[in-house]
Amino acid sequence: MVRYEKGHKDETRRQILDVASAQFRESGIAAVGLAGIMSEAGLTNGAFYTHFASKEDLVREVLLDALSRREQRHKDNLENGVELETTIRDYLSLRHRDRAGTGCPTAALAAEIARHPKATRDVFTGKISDIIALMAQQIRHGSADERRRKAIAIYAAMVGALQLSRAVNDRQLSEEILENAVEAALDLAGRR
C-alpha cells in the first residue's frame, strides 16, 4: 500500500478542481469529460471518485471555488478602495476576453448553468448575489435599493458584453462591444 504525505489528498483535489475549472471555462461543461480532466491532472479515472461523487458534484465545487475567488477579488477591491471603474475596465479588457480558461466563470458558463440541477444553480445564485452586493457597495450614490439595481444592471451588462465579445469573429466588433460596454457600465455607475 502506498502511503502519501499529509495534505496529498487536499493537493490532489485542488489539482482536479483547477484543471476542471480551466477546461470547463475554456470548452464548456458538456464538452469536457472526466477522463480528460483526470488525464491532464496526471491522475487515473478511478481517483476521481475519491474526491467527488459525480461530475455534477465537481461542477458545483468548481463554481463554488471559482466564484469564491472572484468574490474575494471584489472584497479586496472594496477594502483597498479600488474604484468600480477599475473593476469594470479590468473585466471588460482584451486580456480577460482572450483568457476564458482563467477568466470569470459567470461569462464562460452562465448559459450552461441554467440547464443544470437546482443544487448547482443554488450555488451559482448564492455567489452571484454576493458579488452583486459587493459591487453595490462600490456605487457611492443612491439608496441601497438603487445601488443594488445599478449593480445588477452593471454586472449583467459586463457578463453579456464579455460573452458577445468572445462569440463574434470580427475582432474590431469585439473590441467595440467591450469599449461601449465599459462606457455604458460607467454611465450606470454614475462615475462619468
Q: Which domains does the chain have, with CATH numbers?
A: 56-189 (1.10.357.10)
Give dist(CA 1, CA 192) in Å, integer.
65
Enter the C-alpha cell of residue 135: 459591487
Cα 79 to Cα 86: distance, rounded to the nearest angstrom: 14
Average the pLDDT over 23-45 and give the result.
Answer: 96
169-182 pLDDT, tens per residue? Answer: 999 999 999 999 99
CA-to-CA separations, 160 to 38, 50, 117, 133, 155, in angstroms, rounded: 31, 37, 23, 19, 8
> pLDDT-derived band of residue 140, with 50, 70 and 90 as boundaries?
confident
Q: Is 60 exceeded by the pLDDT of residue 3?
A: no
